[in-house]
Amino acid sequence: MKWTGEYRVNANDVDRNNVVSASNLLRYMQDAANSQMEADGPSYMELMERGLSFVLSRIRVSSYRPLYSHDRIEVQSWACESRGVQFNRCYRILRDGVIVAEGVSVWALCSIADRKIHRVNEYEMHYGQDEMLELDLPARFRIPEDVPLTLTGERTTEYADIDMNGHMNNTRYPDILCSFLGTEMTGQRVISMGISFLSEAPLGETLKFYTGQSDGMQYVRTVRENGLTNVEAEILLDPIEVPETSGERSE
């Protein structure tokens, strides 16, 4: 069973192209997920009180149409059948009844103290379930070995990036990754993004960003100071059509 909530796009959620950025798209999805957790139990905070936390392993978001400032949208999130140590969750965003974005994610339930990963059936979770989405591109991926990656910059994890766990919040990554692509984002938007989270980026740590592209797909790998890979991502961009008449919205 899907949790559904109504949202209104904030004027501050759009980028220089006047469309909602990839990070803010993910924030709507994550907020819907947290709302379902609160409604069905246990909530995110109740899990933390038990010394547990969901940690994102990988996510794929597909955006079919752009969203604009003050759009009224419906956001859905639901749990999916999960086995072993993988907890699956899906997302959907609709405007005027039309699907504009979808997402699939895989999480791990970890002990906050020792980072031990627990099986999903060890704890009672009453989140409403529905079928797993199948997106055009799968949630699981690897950067092809034959794609040359070039160091394009560094960035230190700041206060504005972190969440209650003290490391970069997963909703911060999409826009930050786009900042290091080495391609002009003006006139383009993200229509698909897959991110694999391999290790956390704590406050004060500097990440190195390595980027490359092949067959129109953009690839990013971030590396921590200790040499461990932080995330790997593949990003597909698409030109934003210019409206024929000023003020018209292009789909």
Q: Domain residues for 97?
A: 3-239
Please check whether residue 249 lies inside any domain of the structure. Answer: no
- The CATH number linked to 78 is 3.10.129.10
pLDDT score for 247:
44
The confidence score (pLDDT) of residue 141 equals 81
Domain-embedded: residue 81: yes
Q: Assess if residue 245 is contained within a domain.
A: no
The per-residue pLDDT for 248 is: 47
- Per-residue pLDDT at 90: 97
Q: State the pLDDT at residue 219.
A: 97
- Looking from the CA of 174 toward its CB, the CA atoms found within 13 Å total 25
Asked whether residue 225 is assigned to any structural domain, the reply reads: yes
In a domain, 37, yes or no: yes
Q: How many domains does the chain have?
A: 1
Position 251 in a domain: no
Q: Chunked in runs of 10, what are the mean pLDDT values of the chain (251 residues)?
A: 95 95 98 96 92 94 97 97 92 98 95 90 87 78 92 97 93 97 90 96 97 95 98 96 49 54
Please give the full DSSP string across 165-203, using - where no structure is assigned.
TSBB-GGGHHHHHHHTSSS--TTEEEEEEEEEE-S--BT
| Residue (of 171, 126, 141, 127) closest to 232 by Cα position | 141
Residue 244 lies in a domain: no
